[in-house]
């Protein structure tokens, strides 16, 4: 049904009309001497048709029509053949097309209502069916690894922890975590069940861009091998002030540990009233007798025992609070039994007594000593987890933090030879509380599983206004600035090679951003699981067409110009031939 004729070049209507009438008028004037003859009127009509055809070719007429394009089937990875056969039995000669990632679907030109079979379309291809009515029928259940959760960036000394989910594991198979050289670091046996959650851990020994692997093995045979890229960075050297009322073994071993890690440490221990012993490590100097805003402004972390903390004078306490709130300094309070029994307001924390004096981490068989308390749940209190156990906590105070721990006598780990666990605990706890270093550019990869020749989206936050992003091959990558947050930018790149890739800024002083590109046959089950979740969110779980989208639509149907060319050719041919046929 036509809703009315239109012209594509509607703006040329009046100029074309006037020129056409002028041409026809000139032709009438030329042939006017023959006005008494019949052929004059015939040529007049044919000239009018030829000029009209020429005008229609320029104006390009068409019509808006309601059309019903019908149904179609899109096949994606993991579709069920039986489901396809059922649809084809119901809808005879229904068109179908296999989806290829990143390629436009040609079926959309002839179909309004789509059956989507399989795990679905990639997230960056969903725009193709945004205006279609889609019945998402799903596909085969995804088996194998469906979740691999880890920290992509670690500070050297922090533990690497992988949380994974495997669907339909087989008894007798094993999951192995290996390093770059294929050396096993941790392992877990599979059990016969619908799904299994496992945790694998390791302690990176060196910094750099590493690629660990998670293997599935059976009787020595590798059944699957998935890469786990991580970036291990050297920890920032911190400037630390340690204040103690009297020397303890806990302070002694912690002080030595920090010094061995290259931190600049100034340790002050009170000997008698008004007399102190000072120790300097890695360049620290200048004794500090009382806390003030000036002598605290350069420190990243203050480690202070309970007696010293509770005994601070009003001026020292005010200076410490100023350093925390304005300069971002972290304060770690070494607890004692009295710390947990202080009245409200004397310390930043609230505790509950749990009467438990030991705690065990992960696979460690050696229990750790702790104070018989737990942290009270509070919106401000942020727990520091080690092996999913809350060993410490901190409270953000403007730009800085104040924290403490439940552990005591951790130096016993060193005496028992478990220096790795000791280092892991204190690295994680103190890094969570220490002053955060400012970065000129904060990078974040948005695309979960980058692949070659597919869009990799990234985001960066920076105060720098004039900045170019350059890929490894030297190409400039355009950025889009967020209209609400001017410091936030997004970009998109199509990486060409697998493995580690880099993006850098035009400022050479800013460190580049590294990300890992996976091959097409890597992390397949995880990618399929994410695609399935994305399509379920997009289309819902109902396998029917959405009622809000009509099967009919208004579509532009242009009139073929061939008709006007034929009419123009006929008219010009007749006007050329007619004088030759005249007597």
Task: Please spell the DSSP secondary structure of 79-139, one letter per residue.
Answer: --HHHHHHHHHHSTT--EEE--TTS--GGGGT-SEEEEESS---GGGGGGGTTSEEEEEE-
Q: Kindly state the average pLDDT of the residues 137-157.
A: 87
Asked if the model's pLDDT at residue 309 lies above 80, the reply is: yes
pTM > 0.75: yes or no:
no
For residue 30, the SS3 value is helix
pLDDT band for 420, please (50, 70, 90 cuts).
confident
The residues that bridge with 215 in the sheet, in sequence order, are 176, 225
Asked if the model's pLDDT at residue 135 lies above 80, the reply is: yes
pLDDT of amino acid 551: 44
Asked if the model's pLDDT at residue 580 lies above 80, the reply is: no
Q: Kindly state the average pLDDT of the residues 20-28.
A: 86
Q: Are strands 330-334 and 400-405 parallel, antiparallel or unpaired?
A: parallel
The residues that bridge with 368 in the sheet, in sequence order, are 359
What is the percentage of the chain residues whose pLDDT exceeds 70?
93
Chain segment 556-578, per-residue pLDDT in tens: 566 778 888 888 888 888 888 87
Asked if the model's pLDDT at residue 583 lies above 70, the reply is: no
Please count the other Cβ atoms lying within 10 Å of the Cβ belonging to residue 362: 14
Burial (0-12, 13-18, 19+ Cβ within 10 Å), 243: buried
pLDDT band for 69, please (50, 70, 90 cuts).
low
pLDDT of amino acid 67: 45
Asked if the model's pLDDT at residue 2 lies above 60, the reply is: no
pLDDT of amino acid 548: 42
Phi and psi dihedrals of 29, rounded to 5?
A: -60, -40
Phi-psi region of 354 (alpha: psi -120 to 50; beta: other; left: phi over 0): alpha
Chain segment 383-405, per-residue pLDDT in tens: 998 877 899 999 999 889 999 99
pLDDT of amino acid 33: 83
Q: How far is CA 492 from CA 445, 457, 470, in A?
A: 10, 4, 11
Chain segment 34-47, per-residue pLDDT in tens: 887 887 888 888 88
pLDDT of amino acid 509: 62
Asked if the model's pLDDT at residue 146 lies above 70, the reply is: yes
Q: How far is CA 149 from CA 145, 391, 443, in A?
A: 11, 22, 19
pLDDT of amino acid 555: 53
DSSP string across 411-427: HHHHHTT-HHHHHHHHH
The residues that bridge with 189 in the sheet, in sequence order, are 174
Name 8's Cβ contacts closer than 8 Å, sequence gap at least 6: 59, 60, 61, 62, 558
Asked if the model's pLDDT at residue 130 lies above 90, the reply is: no
Chain segment 515-566, per-residue pLDDT in tens: 999 999 999 999 999 999 999 988 876 666 655 444 444 555 667 788 888 8
pLDDT of amino acid 391: 92
Average pLDDT over the chain, rounded to whole? 86
535 vs 465, more confident: 535
H/E element holding 246? none
- Angle of the 562-581 helix axis to the 38-59 helix axis, nearest 10: 150
> Considering the domain 239-433, what is its CATH architecture?
3-Layer(aba) Sandwich (3.40)
Q: Which of these ranges, 160-169, 312-321, 440-449, has the smallest mean pLDDT?
A: 440-449
pLDDT of amino acid 421: 85
pLDDT of amino acid 65: 53
C-alpha–C-alpha distance, residues 243 and 267, integer Å:
6
pLDDT of amino acid 546: 55
Asked if the model's pLDDT at residue 357 lies above 60, the reply is: yes
Asked if the model's pLDDT at residue 408 lies above 80, the reply is: yes
The DSSP symbol for 161 reads: E
What is the percentage of the chain residues whose pLDDT exceeds 90?
41
pLDDT band for 1, please (50, 70, 90 cuts).
very low
Q: Where are the alpha helices (DSSP H) in 32-80?
A: 38-59
Asked if the model's pLDDT at residue 66 lies above 60, the reply is: no
Burial (0-12, 13-18, 19+ Cβ within 10 Å), 143: middle
14-29 burial string, b = 16+ CB within 10 Å, else e?
Answer: eebeeebeebbeebee
CATH class of 441-517: mainly beta
Sign of the C-alpha dihedral, residues 102, 104, 107, 110? positive
Chain segment 75-119, per-residue pLDDT in tens: 999 999 999 999 888 887 888 999 998 889 988 888 888 999 999
> Considering the domain 144-234, what is its CATH architecture?
Sandwich (2.60)
pLDDT of amino acid 330: 95
Asked if the model's pLDDT at residue 154 lies above 80, the reply is: yes
């Amino acid at each position: 049904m036509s809703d009315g004729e239109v012209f594509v070049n509607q703006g040329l209507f009046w100029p074309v009309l006037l020129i056409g009438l002028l041409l026809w008028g000139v032709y009438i004037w030329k042939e006017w001497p023959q006005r008494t003859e019949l052929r004059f009127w015939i040529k007049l009509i044919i000239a009018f048709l030829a000029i009209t055809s020429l005008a229609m070719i320029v104006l390009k007429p068409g019509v808006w029509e309601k059309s019903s394009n019908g149904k179609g089937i899109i096949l994606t990875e993991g579709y069920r053949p039986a489901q396809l056969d059922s649809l084809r039995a119901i809808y005879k000669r229904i068109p179908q097309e296999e989806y290829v990632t990143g390629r436009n679907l040609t079926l959309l030109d002839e179909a309004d209502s789509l059956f989507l079979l399989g795990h679905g379309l990639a997230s960056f291809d969903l725009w193709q069916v945004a205006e279609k009515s889609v019945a998402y029928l799903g596909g085969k259940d995804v088996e194998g690894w469906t979740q691999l959760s880890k920290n992509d960036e670690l500070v050297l000394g922090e533990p690497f922890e992988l949380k994974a989910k495997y669907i339909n594991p087989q008894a007798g198979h094993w999951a192995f975590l290996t390093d770059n050289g294929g050396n096993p670091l941790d392992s877990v046996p599979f059990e016969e069940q619908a799904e299994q959650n496992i945790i694998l851990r390791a302690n990176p020994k060196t910094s750099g861009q590493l690629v660990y692997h998670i293997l599935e093995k059976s009787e020595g045979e590798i059944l699957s091998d998935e890469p786990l890229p991580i970036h291990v960075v050297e920890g920032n050297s911190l400037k630390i002030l340690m204040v103690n009322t009297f020397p303890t073994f806990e302070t002694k071993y912690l002080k030595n540990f920090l010094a061995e890690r290259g931190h600049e440490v100034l340790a002050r221990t009170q000997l008698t009233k008004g007399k102190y012993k000072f120790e300097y490590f890695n360049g620290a100097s200048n004794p500090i007798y009382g806390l003030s805003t000036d002598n605290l402004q350069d420190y990243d972390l203050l480690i202070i025992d309970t007696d010293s903390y509770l005994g601070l004078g009003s001026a020292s306490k005010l200076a410490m609070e100023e350093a925390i709130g304005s300069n971002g300094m972290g304060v770690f309070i070494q607890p004692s039994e009295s710390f947990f029994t202080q009245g409200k307001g004397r310390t930043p924390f609230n505790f509950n007594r749990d009467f438990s004096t030991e705690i065990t981490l992960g696979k460690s068989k050696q229990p750790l000593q702790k104070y018989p308390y737990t942290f009270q749940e509070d919106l401000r209190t942020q727990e520091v987890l080690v092996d999913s156990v809350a060993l410490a906590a901190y409270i953000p105070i403007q730009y800085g933090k104040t924290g403490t721990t439940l552990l005591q006598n951790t130096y016993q780990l060193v005496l028992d030879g478990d220096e790795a666990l000791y280092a892991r605990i204190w690295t994680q706890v103190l890094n969570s509380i220490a002053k955060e270093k400012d970065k000129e550019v904060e990078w974040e990869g948005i695309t979960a599983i980058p692949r070659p020749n597919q869009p990799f989206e990234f985001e960066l936050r920076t105060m720098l206004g004039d900045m170019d992003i350059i890929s490894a091959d030297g190409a400039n990558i355009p950025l889009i600035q967020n209209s609400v947050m001017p410091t936030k930018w997004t970009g998109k790149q199509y990486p060409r090679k697998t493995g580690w890739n880099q993006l850098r800024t035009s400022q050479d002083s800013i460190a580049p951003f590294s990300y890992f590109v996976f091959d097409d046959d890597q992390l397949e089950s995880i990618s399929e699981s994410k695609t399935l979740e994305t399509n379920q969110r997009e289309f819902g779980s109902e396998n029917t067409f959405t009622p809000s989208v009509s099967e009919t639509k208004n579509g532009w149907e242009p009139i073929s110009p061939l008709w006007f060319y034929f009419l123009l050719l006929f008219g010009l041919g007749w006007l050329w031939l007619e004088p030759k046929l005249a007597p």
